[in-house]
Every structure is written in structure tokens, then in C-alpha cells.
Amino acid sequence: EAGVTQSPTHLIKTRGQQATLRCSPISGHTSVYWYQQALGLGLQFLLWYDEGEERNRGNFPPRFSGRQFPNYSSELNVNALELEDSALYLCASSRSGGARETQYFGPGTRLLVL
Amino acid sequence: KQEVTQIPAALSVPEGENLVLNCSFTDSAIYNLQWFRQDPGKGLTSLLLIQSSQREQTSGRLNASLDKSSGRSTLYIAASQPGDSATYLCAVSHAGGTSYGKLTFGQGTILTVHP
């Protein structure tokens, strides 16, 4: 069974540009979660999508947004990039949403903003 | 607001030692607690998940315990090996409220096992 996949593996952008990160969940999983791991800040929850709907959102500005497609894959969009957006962005999926299910993580997309 | 703390921040041990990593959390209203491993620049690998009703879980050389009432968990690694070198993260899932669905992570313990 294939795990969670993310693309691209690395992304270099300049300040003010937009970045789009993609995630494909494990087959049969309907929930997708996004986390940011910035240097010195640890892993922080960004967004949770389940069945195409945004279910919860972390303490991030509105320029962080995303969506979930009918096949349960997901996109994370970051507009008006700032230098501090440089981080490893991790996607996770679970069989269904909420607290009870184990979240399985992908390898991440490393975003560098210059 | 849930806060998760891991002690120590870094640990260096010789191969073969048994070791304990600690995790504490401030809000006991958790659904479960997970221990992850992260290799440099990589994603997370789930090691053990303990439901809030459980006291411990074991997988191979790993044993994790949970004391929900005191807000503590420990990860015990037996007979450590150089391949165990990685960052170990604990995370709690929330039973409800505005934090529902998300995992709150500790800052991690960087483990180095030298031959």
C-alpha cells in the first residue's frame, strides 16, 4: 500500500510569490492534515480537510489556504510569500477525521523563500 | 491551550544502553498520544499510539507508557543501536473543542547513539 505522497519535494520561491504544495493521501483515507515545521518553532498544525470540507484551522493568516479534491488529494496554497514561510510542510492522512484515527505522514515539501 | 514539553532536548548515549525519553502535556483532555521518529529532513514515522484509556504500548524494543492524569508519557528504548539516532517527537490529539482533529507536538528529543 502506497503511503502519503507529496510534491514537489523542494520548492524555491521569492518573497511575494505564491506557492502550491500537493498531497495525495493513502488510498481509502478521507482526511488530510497540513503541518508546518519551521526552524526553531516545531511542528504546528495548519489545516484539516475531511470529505472536501475544511474542518479546522491553526493559527495562521488567511494567505495560507487550501482545498481537498473529490479524490481526497489536497493542495496547500501560500500567497504573498514571506521569508518566515520557509519551512518543511508536512501532509498527513487518516481513515476518517478527528481525534481517534492515526495520522500517517508524508515525506514533506521543503519550501525556501528568498 | 495545550502545551507539550519533551525532556531532554538532546541525548547522546553509547550503543547498547537502555534509555528513556519524556513527554509532558498540560491538558489531560486528550484522545490519544503518539510517538514519532523523524530522520533529518524527512517526514514522520509513527512508532506507537496509546489511546487515552490505555497505560502502555509495546513494539519490539520500544515501550511507551501514558499517565493521563499526571500529563506524562515516557518512551523506553531498550538496547539502543546507532540506527535509532533520530529526533523523537510526541504528539497529543484533542478530545474536542477548537483543537479537535489536530495534533499538538512537543519540540522533540534529538537522540544520538554512538558505536
| Paired strand residues for A109 | A89
8 Å CB contact of A90 and B106: no
Chain B residues 69-88 with a CB less than 8 Å from chain A = none
Q: What is the pLDDT at residue A100? A: 74
CA gap B94, B60 in Å, rounded: 27
For chain B positions 20-39, those within 8 Å of chain A (CB to CB) are 31-32, 34, 36
> What cell was used for A113?
523563500
Instruction: Please report the pLDDT score of residue B47 as a whole number.
Output: 95
Within an 8 Å CB–CB cutoff, is residue A90 touching chain B?
A: yes
Residues of chain A contacting B98 with CB distance shorter than 8 Å: 56
pLDDT 10s digits, B15-33? 999 999 999 999 988 889 9
Q: What is the pLDDT of residue A99?
A: 67
Q: What is the CA radius of gyration of chain B?
A: 14
Q: How far apart are CA A104 and CA B1, in angstroms?
A: 24
* CB nearest A43 (choices: B45, B89, B99): B89
* Whole-number pLDDT of residue A1: 67
Confirm or reject contact between B43 and chain A (CB < 8 A).
Answer: yes
Question: Helix, strand, coil shares of chain B as percentages rounded to 5?
Answer: 5, 60, 35
Q: Where are the alpha helices (DSSP H) in chain A?
A: none
Interface test with chain B among A4, A6, A45, A86, by most B beta carbons within 10 Å: A45
* pLDDT tens for chain A, residues 1 to 114: 689 999 999 999 999 999 999 999 999 999 999 999 998 788 999 999 999 999 999 999 999 999 999 999 999 999 999 999 999 999 999 997 766 788 999 999 999 999
Count chain A–chain B contacts defined by CB atoms under 8 A: 65
CB proximity A57 to B under 8 Å: no
A53 in B contact zone (CB under 8 Å)? no
